[in-house]
Amino acid sequence: MHDASRVGFRPARREDCRRLWEWRNDPVTREASFDTKHIPYEDHERWFAGKVDAADTRIFIVLDAGGSEVGYVRFTIARERAEISLSIDERKRGQGYGPHAIRAVSDHLLSEGSVRRIVALVKRPNVTSVRAFERAGFVIDGLREIAGGPAYEMTYGEPTRRSTSGGDVLARA
């Protein structure tokens, strides 16, 4: 049994390119993504080379208590806001790594001071991800249409707007 509450993380390095590509192309990860198409390695390699050291992107490799890689968390940063995405290795899913990784890496990014709010966009039918983000402290802030379907906007960090009607807030992306 693994203690998923003891996750660690490190910044991604250039040699992590292939492993991130494998995680991003995992069928469950692709289905949860807004663009579900398989990503050719050459395309990912070009993207990764431009993002691994970019100021507007932070990529972290998530580690279990023994130091083994269990997934990644990526942030796309625009001013004081960061959008989060992640994937947990298929062999580690369901063991609690997702919520702990989300919380640990989000807290780290917020502690650096330049980002004040983290946003997760989660397809509405993706109940597993919604629950993982909620366990990590994110709250549903509204409902948006993304890529032709409904997606929850979940936030973490500074106080966010909330629907006072108790229903979903719908805004077009």
Angle between helices 127-135 and 97-111 (to 10 degrees): 50
Q: What is the pTM of this model?
A: 0.87
A 10 A CB-CB count for 117 gives: 17
Per-residue pLDDT tens for 3-18? 667 899 999 999 999 9
Q: Which CATH architecture has domain 8-172?
A: 3-Layer(aba) Sandwich (3.40)
pLDDT of 124 reads: 93
133 membership: H or E segment, kind and range: helix 127-135
pLDDT of 4 reads: 61
Give residue 147's pLDDT band: very low, low, confident or very high (50, 70, 90). Answer: confident
pLDDT of 158 reads: 75
A 10 A CB-CB count for 77 gives: 17
Per-residue pLDDT tens for 56-95? 999 999 999 999 999 999 999 999 999 999 999 999 999 9
Do the bridges between strand 170-172 and strand 139-146 make them parallel or antiparallel, or are there none, so unpaired? Answer: parallel
Mean pLDDT of the chain: 88
Q: Domains of the chain: which residue ranges?
A: 8-172
Residue 96 CA neighbour count, 13 Å, CB half: 10
Q: Which of 11-20, 74-83, 142-151, 163-172 is predicted least confidently?
A: 163-172
A 10 A CB-CB count for 111 gives: 8
pLDDT of 3 reads: 62
pLDDT of 2 reads: 56
Residues 96, 104: contact at Cβ < 8 Å? no
